[in-house]
Chain A
Amino acid sequence: MEWVNIIIQGVLIGGLYAMFAAGLALIFGVMRLVNIAHGDLIVLAAYIALMTTDTLGLNPLLAILIVVPIMAAIGYGLQRALLNRTLGDDVLPPLLVTFGLSVIIQNALLEVFTADSRRLRAGAIEVASFPLTEGVWIGVLPLLQFVVAVAVIGALQLLFYRTALGRAFRATSDDQSVAQLMGLDNRHIFGLAMALSLAVIAVAGVFIAVRTNFDPAIGPARLIFGFEAVIIGGLGSMWGTLAGGVILGVSQAIGAQINPGWQLLAGHLAFLIILAVRPEGLFPKVQG
Chain B
Amino acid sequence: MTGKTLYDKIWDAHLVDQQEDGNCLIYIDRHLVHEVTSPQAFEGLRLTGRQVRAPQKTLAVVDHNIPTTNRAGGLEAIEDLDSKRQIAMLESNCAEFGVPHVGMHDIRQGIVHVTGPEQGFTLPGLTIVCGDSHTSTHGAFGALAHGIGTSEVEHVLATQTLIQRKAKNFRINVVGEAPAHLTAKDIALAIIGEIGTAGGTGCVLEYAGPVIEALSMEGRMTLCNMSIEAGARAGLIAPDEKTYSYLKGRPMVPAGADWDAAVDYWRTLTSDADAVFDREITIDAANLPPLVTWGTSPQDVIAITGTIPDPTALADEGRRTAMQRALSYMGLTPGTPMEDVKIDRVFIGSCTNSRIEDLRAAADYARGRKVAAHVNAMVVPGSGLVKEQAEAEGLDKIFIAAGFEWREPGCSMCLAMNPDKLEPGERCASTSNRNFEGRQGRNGRTHLVSPQMAAAAAVAGHFIDIRKVEV
A pairs with B: no
